[in-house]
Structure 1
């Protein structure tokens, strides 16, 4: 069981406001890979997640849980609904997904993913689609490779937060090169969420020690032999890493100085 530190030291304070909803939990959980509504409920409860991330596959290539089945299991009105385009493999597919989510469910808070055929973020297309979605009134949280210029461009478009890839999605490699991510965290004025390849509590703690506002995990929970134990460890890791970041760290340590290094 994790122990939540007092809010006045910044562990469970508000780090992002979306749709008038204040997010205090710094652990976001993807649910696209689950096949059991009960497991989705349990994971959301254990991680203390405040958001429900949903999507559609405009190309109908991937099976997913029915929202009707989830509604029977989950108190849906307790969560902030965020749409995602995580199945999109082109800018046009991402736009189509966003419009389906808005037309079908009224969702205008969007976790924007535009990935190439290798499942890597396409930064150029992401910036272009983010500009279009912002013009159309969406709140956007784009997913990019760690590039400072692209991060600055997305901030200038009015994106609500940035999601920066640590390592290839589902790789479990952790954060092989913290330096570029740390420079984005220090260089932008909006929250930065670290995700991709976070396979253990150690990886999550490091991301939070670097100053990330939050982390997003998915595959690490789905593929764990005991998903709920992994979920609990990730929640504790977020809290530990946040406290370490707020402490300032030891003088000269790698994280506090922003130096890169292999931390797989």
Structure 2
């Protein structure tokens, strides 16, 4: 299947616009776990993604791909570039990572993560870091635990979108507290991405049914026996969940 064919059925009206950069695909894939640029290209095309995410590992303990190799395999000009601070364990690390990404690549859209040693988003540090990045001219997409008060604070600060944790990263548990997630999404008017622990297409369908504007998947696809096949399955799951919402066919909240 060509990349044009793979992405055709997920191209919709943008769910997020930042200046002249439009986010149309409602499936976002993290690529931090890959070591083969050709595989990165395969999964992004199979998923119909239009976003490319990159980061710095401040500790320099994780494998990384050369940007030149990625550009040759992926064709990076075809994607909206955003940065991520997904390896940051503190507010200070998140700020340093964001600034280095802007200095090196001109990236000003930041997928903000502040996850201490427990690997769960620290809502308080995230609010503080978001305010600092916004003051420096970044567009900020922060990752938080479900909490309406935090969501409202970040919206009022000027964040472009929110990312809400469905369940712990890499847990494959799906959306563990549907009511808390729904309440958090309902508290704001900016787009919301659900991510963390979305390990199967069925879980992605449910995330979309709950009202997410998009989902972000990483570990499930990266560790699958055939990552590109699961990426394509996730693409169809996003579409199925969105159609269920459009047709008012959503199952009630879990108890």
TM class by smaller structure: over 0.9
SS in 2 for 1:143: strand
Could you give the per-residue CA deviations for residues 73-112 of structure 1, whole angstroms, max 9, x where no partner exists?
Answer: 1211111100000010011000000110011111110000
- TM-score, structure 2 as length reference: 0.94
Decide whether the 8 Å contact of 2:88 with 2:115 is kept in 1: yes
CA distance in 1, matches of 2:47, 2:110: 21
2:205 — aligned with what? Answer: 205
SS in 2 for 1:239: helix
CA distance in 2, matches of 1:44, 1:157: 32
The reply to whether residue 224 of structure 1 matches residue 221 of structure 2 is: no
2:244 — aligned with what? Answer: 244
Once the two structures are TM-superposed, the CA of residue 186 in structure 1 deviates from its matched residue by 1.7
CA distance in 2, matches of 1:74, 1:104: 19
* Structure 2 alignment gaps of length 5 or more: none
CA distance in 2, matches of 1:237, 1:192: 17
SS in 2 for 1:81: strand
Give every structure 1 segment of 4 or more consecutive aligned residues whose post-TM-superposition deviation is greater than 4 Å: 1-5
CA distance in 2, matches of 1:46, 1:186: 31
1:109 — aligned with what? Answer: 109
| Cα-Cα RMSD | 1.6
CA distance in 1, matches of 2:215, 2:164: 9
The reply to whether residue 35 of structure 1 matches residue 35 of structure 2 is: yes
Could you give the per-residue CA deviations for residues 127-152 of structure 1, whole angstroms, max 9, x where no partner exists?
Answer: 00000000110000000000110000
Decide whether the 8 Å contact of 1:4 with 1:239 is kept in 2: no
SS in 1 for 2:236: helix
- TM-score, structure 1 as length reference: 0.91
1:235 — aligned with what? Answer: 235
Could you give the per-residue CA deviations for residues 17-49 of structure 1, whole angstroms, max 9, x where no partner exists?
Answer: 124111111000000000100000001101110
CA distance in 1, matches of 2:226, 2:76: 25
Deviates more, 1:199-208 or 1:171-180: 171-180
Alignment of 1:123-142 (within 5 A): 123-142=123-142
Once the two structures are TM-superposed, the CA of residue 58 in structure 1 deviates from its matched residue by 1.6
SS in 1 for 2:49: coil
Matched length: 251
CA distance in 2, matches of 1:220, 1:54: 18
Once the two structures are TM-superposed, the CA of residue 159 in structure 1 deviates from its matched residue by 0.4
Alignment of 1:160-179 (within 5 A): 160-179=160-179
SS in 2 for 1:58: coil
Decide whether the 8 Å contact of 2:7 with 2:46 is kept in 1: no
CA distance in 2, matches of 1:76, 1:249: 37
2:77 — aligned with what? Answer: 77
